[in-house]
Homo-oligomer: A and B are copies of this chain.
């Protein structure tokens, strides 16, 4: 769990980077055998890319690979249906979620499909999203297409 907090802090750093750029503050890191192999954050504003949620940007940055069963994906916010679908399709073995209070997400769906899910309910992840949603409800609504 200590290592989970450590890796989540790196995902939160990604989220804060996106926030500082005026973007949606969701970040992610991918870990394999105790090492970070990729990190990313939401790129809707920065690249005008609606599919680049934090988790998706991180999966993209990990590049081409044939299997994901041994990786853990850390994400500051519970995965939306797109990101949850990607996690199941690629067979990512484990997901660690920063918080699900600001967005319910799909931990149940992931578990039903055999993904191990750990919820940290991290105060830093929560307060960043609290601030963003209060400041930019328009951008938040766009990012989840009203499907919150």
Interface residues of A (CB under 8 A from B): 44, 48-52, 56, 59-60, 62-68, 80-86, 88-91, 141-142, 144-147
How far does the alpha carbon of A16 sit from the alpha carbon of B89 in the complex, in Å? 24
User: Interface residues of A: mostly helix, strand, loop or mixed?
Assistant: loop
Nearest B residue (CB) for A57: B51
Q: Return the 6 tightest CB-CB contacts between A and B, nearest first.
A: A85-B85, A82-B86, A81-B89, A82-B89, A81-B85, A90-B145
Chain B nearest CB: distance from A143 CB in Å?
Answer: 9
Bound Cα distance A141, B66 (Å): 7
Q: Which of B50, B81, B83, B88 contacts A59 (CB 8 A)?
A: B50
In the bound complex, residues from chain B placing their C-beta under 8 Å from that of A59 are 50-51
CA distance A79 to B49 in the complex (A): 20
The answer to whether B50 touches A63 (Cβ under 8 A) is: yes
Chain B residues with CB below 8 A from A60, complex form: 49-52
